[in-house]
Structure 1
Amino acid sequence: MTQQSESTTPTPVRDTGTPPVVSPVTSPVPPLAEPRPLGEHRVWPRTFHDRLTAPLPGLRALARFAREGAVRPGREGLADVPRLPFAPGPLPRVDTRTVAVTWAGHASWVVRVGGLTVLTDPVWSRRIIGTPARVTPVGVPWETLPAVDAVVISHNHYDHLDAPTLRRLPRDTPVFVPAGLGRWFRRRRFDRVTELDWWEAAELSGVRFDFVPAHHWSKRSLTDTCRSLWGGWILTDPDGQRVYFAGDTGYGHWFSRIGQRYPGIDLALLPIGAYDPRWWLSDVHCDPEEAVRAAREVGARRMAPMHWGTFVLSAEPVLEPLTRVRAAWQRAGLAREDLWDMPVGGSRVL
């Protein structure tokens, strides 16, 4: 990948979108990109529609969705809300060679890697636009967090990019975001914002942050559909330990390509909820069985489910994702201890 030198003026960026279709057996895997400068100012395309792996819903699909009205579970599907797993505890003690994760809820994790404390898609708000209030509290009280060394954002949907939560952070917090999303942060006076395209990387204090593709989209207002990119993150510490945070994604070909380029992923944080009705959501949200398949295709040694049990975003019963992911994991013949199906507030240490 061609690298650009650091400059005080914006530089054009080459479209590094879809890699060539290659055989995973006979074709070489492209080398990892050299880390780009932190806080680099860049010029991006006006739209990323060409990165979509499925067309966005048209008028016919919108009409069907409005007619069927299956946007929330019924009374029986909500009956298990009191049983949703919630077990907050203190953050584990770590050193610079320890990797630990704590699930704050939804796609928000406290990742301790390489001596850094990294937040993923931090949403500490009780409500987000367009959905009922969260059905489980935040698993990590804000005041118990150590100093936040970095934040990674997968995309700009409200359940992943929460302005009230981000206002709590010092404006010099390093933030790693998809291409085209930097202006949103700079308008809010964040001054250490690094935007990356797919397959690009940056480095902070010896920890490598690689931005990788996802099967999703972006939109935050009526006029900004796909104006910024979407994706997941690979965090690699100086010892080579790797955590894959998938963000929000449907199932598809990117998982095997990510696994080829980043072998030896120790833990995959993968979404398992917000999948019903399937005809409406399959292109952008994995169901539990697809998440297990994705974990295998990226070559992850362990999987921690997320994106369920926090906000009611779709029609499946609230506990169904957990039941189905456990069954799918067992059917795949995978070791039970490698499924980290932790409660909100739970922690695990590699």
Structure 2
Amino acid sequence: MTDTVTVSPASVERVMGDHWVNDKGTAFKNPWKTFTSFGAMEVMKIIPTMAWKAWTNKDPAAKNAKKLIPHIRPTYGLDLPSTELKVTWLGHAASLVEMPAREDSEKGLKGRGVRVLFDPVLLDVIFHGVGQKRLSTNVTKIDELPEVDAIAISHNHYDHLDLPSLKAIFANQKSKFGKHPKLFLPLNNYHVVSGLGLGRENVIEMDWFEERNVLVEGVGEVKIACTPSQHNASRVGWDKDNSLWSSWVVKDTSSNASVWFGGDTGYCITTEESHSLEDLTKEVCPAFKEIGDRLGPFTVGLIPIGAYEPRALFSAVHAAPIDSVRMFKDTKCQNAIGIHWGTFQMTYEPFLEPPERLRTAAQQVGLKEDDFVVVALGETRGYTV
């Protein structure tokens, strides 16, 4: 049976936010002191460090990632109780979330919950087959995905919005299940996906803190909220920040289950390569506390932990684990899974380092060992709500 997916209209009129550069919604910025765009002089200072790291980067873990990064074939939680919130990590930021099933035979509701797929980059090479190669095991084929009700994209960088992956997913979902998932994007990204032929009614662009209800007939209902992140956007260089970037919230309307998907984000600016809390700036991006205060707490967060070295260059846009654990606390996550690591070699930290730094960082801020974890590629974690 094909499940009809209905998205509610926006509940409030869109207004120009302080992250808008113009009144048309076609240019955006990070409106916080914790973000900076590097000028030519700053980049020139960092180039020698980058060149040295590129020349000397002989990380054996990256070369042997298929053996060293734990992986299993995903079952998407078929062996877990249908009443649990289920989260499956598929590599980099790609994650599938399934809300708890609403068991109600009188209303004909299915034994599964609403499913949302985040940032699905599921092929082996990004950027139309000529970009970075997946180093760890690709644990799923697109035709093995279960029925998906919605897809949410954090921003339009190629390692998060992969048109070949999306094209294949939509074709497969239509063929197997008779429908296209609804596609949720931050503002002014429709032009990137217009060639997919989805129809404007299947693509929903949203601004920060806008919310939509998504009703899946016979399955359930969730509220999807577009939330801030500290990042940027570009597909071709000269379109820098013409499209918005975001994180996402999904809340089940019939239970307390909720997810915050961090996508790709920075947290603060630092010129220190130190990962010690005492060495870092006390000024951090306020958006994450605002997310927690307005929409939290969350059952689980999917929080980036990789692609951070050198910190002087990447701290404004990519979180290191010491940033990730503080975002965990700011957003009021009750549990978290580390994403955005162990898949592509984006930057110069050792390939296996992020989980090690996460364990140390969690201790620094007083988290328990199982509060914020890493999982195997393809692994599904269930959460009782």
Q: Same fold (TM over 0.5)?
A: yes
The one-letter code of the counterpart of 1:91 is Y
* Bigger mean CA offset, 292-301 vs 69-78: 69-78
Report the equivalent of 1:242: 258
Report the equivalent of 2:86: 100
* Per-residue Cα deviation, 1:297-330 (whole angstroms, up to 9, x for no partner): 1111101000000000000000110101012223
2:330 counterpart of 1:347: no
Structural mapping, 1:94-243, within 5 Å: 97-113=83-99, 115-129=113-127, 131-170=131-170, 172-191=180-199, 192-205=202-215, 206-238=221-253, 239-243=255-259
For these two proteins, the number of residue pairs brought into alignment is 319
2:24 counterpart of 1:14: no
Structural mapping, 1:18-37, within 5 Å: none
Q: Which has the higher helix share?
A: 2
| Structure 1 residues 64 and 335: alpha-carbon distance in aligned structure 2, compared to 1, 3 A threshold | same
Contact 1:274 1:316 in 2 (8 A): yes
TM-score (normalised: structure 2): 0.77
The one-letter code of the counterpart of 1:14 is V
Give the one of 330, 341, 345 matched to 1:297.
330
CA distance in 2, matches of 1:179, 1:77: 40
Structure 1, unpaired ranges of 5+: 7-11, 20-42
CA distance in 2, matches of 1:96, 1:347: 13
TM-score (normalised: structure 1): 0.84
Structural mapping, 1:46-125, within 5 Å: 46-49=26-29, 51=31, 54-68=35-49, 69=51, 70=53, 74-76=57-59, 78=61, 81=65, 82-93=67-78, 97-113=83-99, 115-125=113-123
Report the equivalent of 1:254: 287
Structure 2, unpaired ranges of 5+: 1-7, 101-112, 172-179, 216-220, 268-284
What SS does the corresponding residue of 2:362 show, helix, strand or coil?
helix
What SS does the corresponding residue of 2:170 show, helix, strand or coil?
coil
| Structure 1 residues 50 and 89: alpha-carbon distance in aligned structure 2, compared to 1, 3 A threshold | closer
Report the equivalent of 1:23: none
CA distance in 2, matches of 1:319, 1:72: 19
Contact 1:44 1:179 in 2 (8 A): no
The one-letter code of the counterpart of 1:312 is Q
Report the equivalent of 1:30: none
CA distance in 1, matches of 2:56, 2:335: 30
Report the equivalent of 1:29: none
Contact 1:201 1:208 in 2 (8 A): yes
| Cα RMSD, aligned residues only | 2.5
Contact 2:19 2:30 in 1 (8 A): no
Percent of pairs with identical residues? 31
CA distance in 2, matches of 1:73, 1:345: 32
